[in-house]
Amino acid sequence: VHIGVPSGSNIRVDYSEHPPVLAVRMQELFGLADTPRIAQGRQKVLLHLLSPARRPVQVTQDLANFWRSTYAEVKKDLKGRYPKHYWPDDPLVAEATARAKPRGT
């Protein structure tokens, strides 16, 4: 099973763990308010939010809370390590991208 994310990518769900894991670069989820679900909406996936280098940065099943409470701290760290990448102040209204920066920026 693959889940489509706001960047346009289709990311494979890893069912070898419970709950199932969706490992995705953080920038690909900009604009997404809630954690994706599977099983006709009954099961939230466990998000492994990855850096641009595809290293795990955060693990959550509550994406809305992550954007509200933790993202600002994580952004500071990642902005220092990956200055050429896109780190918006408000990830809920930002354009998701699978690239370093959205097209046209």
pLDDT for residue 17 = 87
- Domain span at 14: 2-81
Name beta bridge partners: 24. 49
Report whether pLDDT(101) > 70: no
When divided into structural domains, the chain yields a total of: 1
Inside any domain, residue 105: no
- Are 100 and 52 in contact, with CB atoms under 8 Å apart? yes
Query: Do the domain assignments include residue 63?
Result: yes
Asked whether residue 96 is assigned to any structural domain, the reply reads: no
Does 100 reside within a domain? no
pLDDT in tens, 15-71: 998 999 999 999 999 999 999 999 998 999 999 999 999 999 999 999 999 999 999
Q: β-strands 10-12, 2-4: how paired?
A: antiparallel
Please indicate, yes or no, if residue 101 is contained in any of the structural domains. no
Report yes or no: 31 and 6 within 8 Å, Cβ to Cβ. yes
pLDDT recorded at residue 104: 56
User: Closest Cα partner for 101 from 3, 23, 5, 28?
Assistant: 28
pLDDT tens for 64-97 read 999 999 999 999 999 999 999 999 999 999 999 8
Nearest C-alpha neighbor of 87 from the set 75, 103, 100:
75
Residue 16 within a domain:
yes
Indicate whether 25 belongs to any domain. Answer: yes
- Within a domain: 89: no
Quick check: bond before 56 cis, omega within 30?
A: no
User: What's the whole-model pTM score?
Assistant: 0.90
